[in-house]
Amino acid sequence: MIKSKIPEIFKYGSKPRLIILFITMVSNLIFNVLMAMIIGFITKVATEKGITVCMWERLGVYFILFAMLGGLMILGVKIKCDFEKSCLVKIKRITSKSIIYNSTKPEEYLSLCTNDLKFYLDHAIEAELNIVQNIVTFIISAFAAVKISPILFVVYFVAIMIPFIRTKALKKYLL
C-alpha cells in the first residue's frame, strides 16, 4: 500500500457506509447517556413515596428510546463488520490486480494476500475506526459535561491534560 495522508477508511471504505457507521457511533453514545438518565430516574423514584402519572409517561419514553437505541447498537456492530469487510475486499482487489500485472515474485504477493492484509486491516482500518469512535465519544462527553456543569468540565479537562502535558515535558529527558 502506498503511504499517503488520506486515512485508509476514506481511501478504501464506502462513504455512505462510513456515514451510517458514524451515525450508529453517535447513537451508541446517546444510548449510554440515556442509561445514565434511566439510572438517575430509577434512583429518584426509589427515594420518593409514590409514582406519579408524569413519572409513568417518562418511564414509557425512556423504554421506547432504550429499545430504539439498543437496536441501533446491534445494527452498528453489523455495519462496522460490513464496512471492514468491504475495505478488505477492495484492498484485496487492488492487490490481486497488482499480482496479475506484476507477477515477478508470486510467493511475496501470496503472503501479502493471506497474512499481511489481515494485519493491515487490524492495524489500519480498525484502528482508524477506533480513533473516530474516541473522537466522537470525547466531543459528546464534553458537550454533555458542559451542559451539566461547566466548572466540572474545566476541572475534568485539566485533570485529563495533566498526564499528557507531563509526558510531553518529560519525554525529552527520558529519551
Give first-to-last CA distance, the chain, whole Å: 31
How much is the average pLDDT of 135-143?
81
pLDDT of residue 1: 47
Most confident of 15-19, 51-55, 105-109, 119-123: 15-19
- Residue-level length of the chain: 175
pLDDT of residue 117: 66
Q: Apex CA 66: angle with CA 65 and CA 71, to 5°? A: 100
The model's pTM is 0.58
Question: Rounded CA gap, 109 and 95, in Å?
Answer: 8
Task: Report residue 135 as a C-alpha cell.
Answer: 473522537
Q: Give CA separation, 60 vs 39, 53, 64, 69, 165, in Å.
A: 14, 11, 6, 14, 46
Q: Which residue has the cell 421506547?
A: 64
Q: In which band, very low, low, confident or very high, does the pLDDT at 157 lie, cut at 50, 70 and 90?
A: confident
User: pLDDT tens, 1-59?
Assistant: 455 566 767 777 778 888 888 888 888 777 777 777 777 777 777 777 767 777 778 77
pLDDT of residue 79: 83
Specify the DSSP class assigned to residue 104: T
Q: In which band, very low, low, confident or very high, does the pLDDT at 140 lie, cut at 50, 70 and 90?
A: confident
Query: Quick check: 91 and 1 in contact, CB under 8 A?
Result: yes
